Every structure is written in structure tokens, then in C-alpha cells.
Structure 1
Amino acid sequence: MSSSNQHLALITKTTSLIAAGDIVGAESALAELADSDGDGALMVVLDQLAPKDILAVMREYDDSKASVVNMLVTPEQFARAMVLEKQYKDLTHTHLRNMVNAVVFRDDADPVEFLTAIGDLEGGAEALANYFAEKWSRIEAFARTGTFDATEDYGVTLSDDELLASGYVQPRIDLDEVADRDWMQMAWLLRYECRDLFIEMLLVLRAKARAFDQGREEGEETSEEDDGKFETSETDRGKATPAARASDEESAI
């Protein structure tokens, strides 16, 4: 059997196993390919698998064993899968956070490459907002103070305008101080390495919180005028963030 036919057969098998709920079997099939034909062969297959199938395997992350998919998935493949995670309607977002930490902070990865790929996709900021959902007050405090001091969690929140104006603040703590391979390191990288994306993510997180306070839970039926999506046209992919405004001003000059 030619390698292309072998890959097609494996893709069909993997997809069928995932559809049947056998995620462990699907990952084992992919791992066997890597063992027999090398990592390059698996990367070819991952590039042809549907993002939802890659997501299904990655969501079942088990920190007691290495996952060959988590180790080899590219930033672009990961981003396409991550923006679909909300379809699982996991209100705790535990699987999402474990999956993101396992991939973005793997030993050979550049976390900023992954964050950039996520931010480049529609729904990327919302996926990151879901990642931080359980840490909203801590993220607001970090945006305001530049630290992760828990005593600051309940201070006055920056207004949206103040948040937008804070785009170029300098770090008050070093990355090494928060390199926990978890939400604090993620927040620091977003705040100082992907500044527009951090602001966009926090604006979406605020919109989600307001919607929740108004009794509109995620997944609830909405009218045509209000399709349940959070408006981000004036954030990073729109015109409001500092980098976008600076670019507009330069072009005007």
C-alpha cells in the first residue's frame, strides 16, 4: 500500500473511532503511525484530519502520559481546533485549560506562536476568554496593577477606555516570576507579547460576564437580531486597540 493510501486509511479509521467515542483507540492508531513511519508521517495525517477530530483527541489530555498529537500539532492546527472547543459546552472549561497548557507550554514550543495563531482566527479571543473564565477577577486585577497579588482581586476595574489606553504599559514583574505553565504565564505573555489580543480577550470576557449577569447563558436560543455572538468588531480585529489606532494615525500622516 502506498504511503498516501495508508494515510487515507488511517484518517478514515481515526475519524470512525472518534465518531464511535473511542478517543483512546484513535490516539493509539496515530501513535502507531508515528512509531512505524516517523513523526513526519503523523504530521502529514494531522494536516488532513478535520480540526474537530484533532480537538477530540487533544481534549482527552492525560498528564500521566505523553500525547503524540499534543507534541506534534502545529500552532495553526491547534488554533483551528481550539476555536471549536466551545461546542462542547463545558462550563468549567477544565478540558480546555488542560489542553491549552499541555500544548502551548510543551518543551519545544514558542507559546507566542500559538497565541498569534489563535488570535488570527475568528473566535480566537473568545476561546482565550473561556480559558480564563474561572480567573476573571485575577485577570482584571492583573490588567489594573500588573501583578497577581490576590489582595488586589476586588479593586476597581479599569473601564474599557482605560483598558484600551493601557496597551503599552511596561511589565511590573518578570516572566520568570510567573512561569507556572498555567494561566498566570499565559496572561503575562498575552499582556506583554500579544497586547492587542490580551485587550480583545478581556473585552470578550467582560461581555460574557455581562451576558451571564443578565441571565443569558451560553447556548441559549437567541433572536436574529441577537445571535449570541459577542461583538468584537471594535477590538483587535477592528479599530479600537492601540496598535490599530497607531497604524491608522501613521497612514493618515
Structure 2
Amino acid sequence: MNHPVRLKAEKLIRAGDIVGAEHALASLVETEGDDSLVVVLDDFPAKDLLAVLRDFDSSRESVVSLLVSPEQFARAIVLETRYGDPSHERLRGMINAVIFRAESDPGEFLEAIGNLDGGCDAFADYLCDRGESLEHFFRNGTFDLFDEGGGDALAGLTDAERLDALSDPDTNRPVLNHSEVNDHDWMELVWLLRYQQPEVFRDVLLILRARASAESAQQAAADGRPAQEQRPSGEPEEESAL
């Protein structure tokens, strides 16, 4: 659909005028209503949608962020991983602003991202500095590193058994209520992944472990030390047979 507003917005993006492009898209809502912008966004190239989303977050609201669909957003988020931003601050800002927007269903966005190739890597980027907290939450069902949980039905299982049990709703029961982690930030996202998208949670956890293991091996090589197999945080070492 070659809507004039879409063509204008794409032209402005190519000229580097992201604010102008967002204003053009917002004007469509004023003249033709929300539904018209939803239709235009459906044909909007993912890279152009990302250009607009990257310029706005929860502190600088955009009508595009309020109306983008889960599938459109997922495609844009996967493209974001190609920017090579080591801080991933823009990624976090976009995800928080869109999936926790008013009257939305975060689960729909999490499912759309998780089902797309590269989506779990995007979640791993979002959580790149939360590996220890994620491991603790996986083992104990809480985010307090000084709290061993106690009520988590997965406690006492081996790591492999816990991973397998994530997909069993009778076993993988919340220790924390959703209201206790309702921060519209990483803790709520992790809680939703574990209890609403357990297979995605598992894949993200394994990606973060693999990254940590690779970083450990690189550091060991740089220090001239032999690389050791990465063990999940908190897992006891096996007893020596000697």
C-alpha cells in the first residue's frame, strides 16, 4: 500500500529526519484515525520502523510505539541486534516502552519476538548484564540474591531436570506473584518469560550461559590459563573420584 504518508515518512527517514518522519506518521492518526496508521505500519519496512523506534522510548513517547503490532515490533527488534551497540540501552528502552505500553498484552509481544529467528538473541542482549540474577531466579524463583526461595518446586533438582521442568506448569509455579515484579522493566520481563514463555526463557538462559563461557575462555586465553568448562552459577562442583 503506497500511502502518501508512508512514502513521505520513508523519504524523511532516508534523509535522516527521524522526527519529521514520526510527525508525518502521527499526522495520519489526526486526519484518518488509529486504524489508518496501523495499516500503513503493516507495510512499513522493518528497518524504517526501527529507525523511528530507536529515536523514542518510554521517556519520549511516539504514536508509532503505541500502535505497532507485536509482529512488526519483533521484526524491528531482531534488526536492532545488528547495530552492535554493546550497552543495548536503546534496545532496552524500545522493549520497555512498547511491550509495557498502556492497555497492551506484553505476552503477545514476548511470544512474537521469541518465535522469530534471532528473537532469543535479542532478549539475551536485553539481559546481557543480568546473567547472575537470571540464574538465581531460575534456581530459586526470586531475584534477591540473598534469598534461597524455599518454595520453588524446582529446588533440589539437577540443572538439566530444572531446565526440562520449566515447560511443566504443575512444577514451574511462581514463587513471586506478578504484582511483586510489576516494574515494567527487566524483572517483569524475566518473570513473564519464565511463566508465560518457558521455552523462550530456557533458550535465553542457555544463550547467556554460552556467552559467559566464551568470554571466560577468551579471558583465560588472554591470561595464558587453561580454559575451564563453564558451570552454571551456584552449581556445586562434582566430587573428585580420587
How would you bin the TM-score normalised by the shorter chain? 0.7 to 0.9
What is aligned with 2:193?
Answer: 190
Identity, in percent, stands at 50
Kept in 1: contact 2:113–2:119 (CA 8 A): yes
Q: Given residue 182 of structure 2, which amino acid in structure 1 is its aligned partner?
A: A
Answering whether residue 206 of structure 2 is matched by residue 203 of structure 1, we say: yes
TM-score normalised over the length of structure 2: 0.79
Aligned pairs (5 A) from 1:131-142: 131-142=126-137
SS at the partner of 1:151? Answer: coil
CA displacement at 1:152 relative to structure 2: 5.9
- TM-superposition CA deviations, 1:90-134 (whole Å, max 9, x none): 111111011001110111111111111111111111111111112
SS at the partner of 2:65? Answer: helix
CA displacement at 1:162 relative to structure 2: 4.0
What is aligned with 1:107?
Answer: 102
Largest Rg, 1 or 2: 2
Aligned pairs (5 A) from 1:1-253: 7=3, 9-151=4-146, 161-167=160-166, 168=168, 169-215=172-218
Detail structure 1 runs of 4+ shifted over 6 Å in the superposition: none
Question: Counterparts of 1:131 and 1:22 in 2: how far apart (Å)?
Answer: 27
SS at the partner of 1:149? Answer: coil
SS at the partner of 2:129? Answer: helix
TM-score normalised over the length of structure 1: 0.76
**Count of equivalent residues:** 207
CA displacement at 1:47 relative to structure 2: 0.5
Specify every segment of 5 or more residues in structure 2 that has no aligned partner in the other structure, as ranges: 149-156, 220-242
- Decide whether aligned partners of structure 1 residues 203 and 106 sit closer, same or farther in structure 2, where only a CA change above 3 A counts: same
Question: Counterparts of 2:158 and 2:20 in 1: how far apart (Å)?
Answer: 49
